[in-house]
Amino acid sequence: MEYSQHAFLKELGITEENSGLYNGKWGGKGDLIKCINPTTGNVIATVRGATSEEYEETIQAMIAAKTKWALTPAPKRGEIVRLIGESLRAKIVPLAKLISLEMGKIFIEAKGEVQEFIDVCDFATGLSRSINGQVMPSERPGHVLLENWNPLGLVGIITAFNFPCAVLGWNAAISLICGNVQLWKGASSTSLITVAVTKIVVEVLEKNGFDGAICSTIIGPGRTVGEKMIQDKRFGLISFTGSTDVGRRISQVVHSNFGRTILELGGNNAIIVAEDANVELALRAVLFASVGTTGQRCTTCRRLFVHESHYDAVLERLKKAYSTVKIGDPLVEGTLVGPLHTAAAVKEYTEGIEEIIKQGGKIAYGGKKIDRAGGFFVEPTLVEINHDAPIVKTELFVPILYVMKFKNLDDAFEWNNEVPQGLSSSLFTNNQMNIFKWMGPTGSDCGIVNVNVATNGAEIGGGFGGHKETGDGIESGSDAWKQYMRRSTCTINYSTSMPLSQGIEFGN
């Protein structure tokens, strides 16, 4: 194992063998999970997953902790979340190194991911003092109408490998200030990150006199642990980040039990470079949006529509830019593209290239697997292809960018919307008429609609989520907190009479 090669693991409480269950105490009697370094293909350390029996023990521990947390004043809950953010800030460097080591994204991106968790803790702390409901005028004298918000109770959070820290933060920080207890199931392939983040969070809870089961963690395969979570009617909400196929099943199961979901699924995001665009600005945005995180962001740019007047120049400059991208160990300074996360992702890449060629696509740059000391490396790839090729409508979670030419901007808007996914989109233009049309009912149908910025890099203050096969629900900012609470409309009669609504009179 590589454990002894990485001193920062000890700073995070990671050992060679780790427990994969926390519910107020550490446990794990299930299968052994080998945690792989995608840069080398070697095992870093191991985690012992949870059993079905331990799952039920965890739910009972959460239920036992629920009432005290729900009755804790929201500003006090916000203070705990603030302290969690401070603890994350103190360990941002070793956490970022662990994300680079186990997930594969470059260190500066990994550090930005931890910063997102810290930022949303700050956001949630302020929110804990401003959650409110409306007070509405009643049509009956001596009456008042108001909204009241209470916790859902139990919340399940299932996160993906590509953002193994930040997505927990988007959900957990908001859910906690709302008064919920939660169960986090991180991706098995990033189990060390799940363990490390859990240790930081529960240390804050326990130091401040709260049961650590408020933030329980369970590690195990989705077909067992994940299935139990989505079938469990005791959860008021399941938040899931992952593939559209899995999300579709989760939606069917949870909604059949009248539960709630937040689903952040596939993204097949487009950037449009209009005739009047600032091309220099667009090129910088396209490069990071397409090769950042080795194409493994849900907001990665996968389709680029370029006006015919700029097409040849943009393609040539992108090819030149791609040729200068340094590929290698994500922990080495200067690396811009790390490995894919798994060997399965490399297979998706190579098979995707084969299918692209079958469908008439032309490889303009890249297109090859890189053989490098057991790691999972590929070349970031540019492809010229028609917008209506079937594969263009399929999200390949790898660094392949389709480059397509358009003449009329209305066509580009239509092509942006013709895919099943609807997460993020960007238009580069200096024409205000184009901007407001892009934002309007005949513009982009995505949940994130950008102008003169890339498709990736969303800020925590805005709600994050998409439409169509991207799923439903939003995470992080705006009024996302409402999804983690139940609303009651309360009518209070402070008079000595009993008037009925709508002027109805019943008896004397």
Residues 6+ apart with CB under 8 A from 476: 120, 123, 170, 174, 458, 460, 461, 462, 463, 464
List strands edge to edge, sheet with 143-151: 135-137, 143-151, 485-493
Distance of CA 375 to the CA centre of its chain: 25
Q: Residue 31 is encoded by which pair of tokens?
A: 């299968």
Distances from the Cα of 393 to the Cα of 18, 115, 210, 340, 418, angstroms: 41, 33, 48, 22, 8
Element (H, E) at 427: strand 424-428
Q: Is the dihedral of CA 204, 206, 209, 215 positive or negative?
A: positive
> Please, are residues 164 and 103 in contact by the beta-carbon 8 Å criterion?
yes
Give the Cα separation of 336 and 382 in Å (integer).
17
Rg (CA), the chain: 24
Evaluate whether 240 touches 186 at the Cβ level (below 8 Å): no
Treating both helix axes as pointing N-terminal to C-terminal, what angle do 74-90 and 166-177 enclose, rounded to 10 degrees? 160
DSSP-derived secondary structure letter, 337: B
How many beta carbons lie within 10 A of that of residue 74, not counting itself? 18
Report the 10 Å Cβ neighbour count for 84.
27
Report d(CA 180, CA 67) in Å as an integer.
9
Catalytic hit among 57, 264, 379, 475:
264
- Tell me, yes or no, if 264 is annotated catalytic: yes
Closest CA to 58 of 220, 299, 189: 220
- Whole-angstrom Cα distance, residue 230 to residue 377? 34
Lookup result for tokens 């470079």:
273
As annotated, the active-site residues are 264
